[in-house]
A = this chain, B = another copy of it.
Amino acid sequence: MSDKTTIHDIASMLRVTASTVSRALNDHPKISDATKRRVLTAAKKLNYQPNNIAAALRQGKSKVVGVLVPTIDRHYFSSVIHSIEAVLNDAGYHVIVAQSHDSPELERAKLKALMQAQVAGIILSFAKQNTDFEHFKDIIDRDIPLILFDRYHESLEVDTVVIDDYIGAYKATEHLIENGCTSIVHFTSTSQISIYKERKRGYIDALQRHGIAVQDELIWESHLTLEDGFELGNRLLSESKAVDGVFSASDFAAIGAMQAIKDQKGNMVRPIKFFGFSNETFTQFIDPPLSSVDQLSHSTGEMVAHRFLERIQHPHQKSLTMQKTVLTPKLCIRSSSQK
């Protein structure tokens, strides 16, 4: 039979009421052990599968958490989601995935849809060009736990899990200096986005701390794509300056540049050391393997999931105690940056 059995079926089979069955299944203390056992046996016999939707309706909360990211199709995000799913599943939650495609409008629409699905919480890395955060108010007002990761904004009084871009950049730059680089170019993107601002700040501070003058003409801005990197690589070759190191805020731009240089190896005066950011899967496979700052996607996902579970278990504290977790990224040092 495909007819789903309900607690009422169990109830009538046992000549008790549905409330008793419900309580028995939920291990309510006021139900006798004998009845609990009978209910459990009957449930198994009838192949009873609880209807979570009914419970969710009654309780006003489902066991589903919405995760909204720009795109799932990038290693960092899918890796974070991987960890979130693993942790939340063990806690009895499901994960709904939605993508904003970096569009604020889509983001708003998807958030609305998630709310309508009565999610128990929302985990979010928001769209790039977000300027207005009004739509988060709705979530907070309804006391639905909201956790941000990767991308966030200072103005938001919300739990956040990020890596310390500044430290990562600082250490990467320092590593280049310690490996003999004295003239280091920085590939960056618009300072509108905090992660790039922070990475630039780390780069600058590292130089200064090591007594190297910061030169604006060594800070190159682009969209940091592979193609951008390729152009920047050619620019490196044509520069009169004796650049001997590159700290790129993106792995893609870094390997684009390395590609350009390899293509014209003859022109190289001296070798240029490279350090990237994100530790994309391919960094270890290219030639030479690219040193990179690892964003700790695994830990981030776990932290985010745990933060959510804490919120769910202590809903009373509300937004009063917003927590910002900052993970220190890890340098993955490979041959591209070493002597």
Contact = CB atoms under 8 A, between A and B. Distances in A.
Nearest to A112: B49
A258 to B, nearest CB: 9
A78 B72 contact: yes
Q: How many residues of A sit at the interface, in one of the four size bands?
A: 35 or more
A281 interface: yes
A117 interface: yes
Contacts of A54: 57
A221 interface: no
B113 A86 contact: no
Contact of A52 (B49, B117, B282): B117
Contacts of A95: 96-98
Contact of A72 (B85, B112, B141, B281): B85
B56 A53 contact: yes
Given A117-B64, A118-B51, A285-B285, A82 B57 contact: no
Interface string A249-280: 00000010000001000000000000000001
A86 B100 CA distance: 10
Contacts of A141: 2
A118 to B, nearest CB: 5
A151 interface: no
Given A97-B97, A281-B281, A53 B49 contact: no
Interface of A: 2, 4, 49-54, 56-57, 62-64, 71-73, 75, 78-79, 81-82, 85-86, 89, 94-99, 110, 112-118, 141-143, 255, 262, 280-282, 285-287
Given A54-B57, A73-B82, A86-B99, 7 more contacts: A49-B116, A51-B118, A53-B53, A53-B118, A94-B114, A95-B97, A95-B98
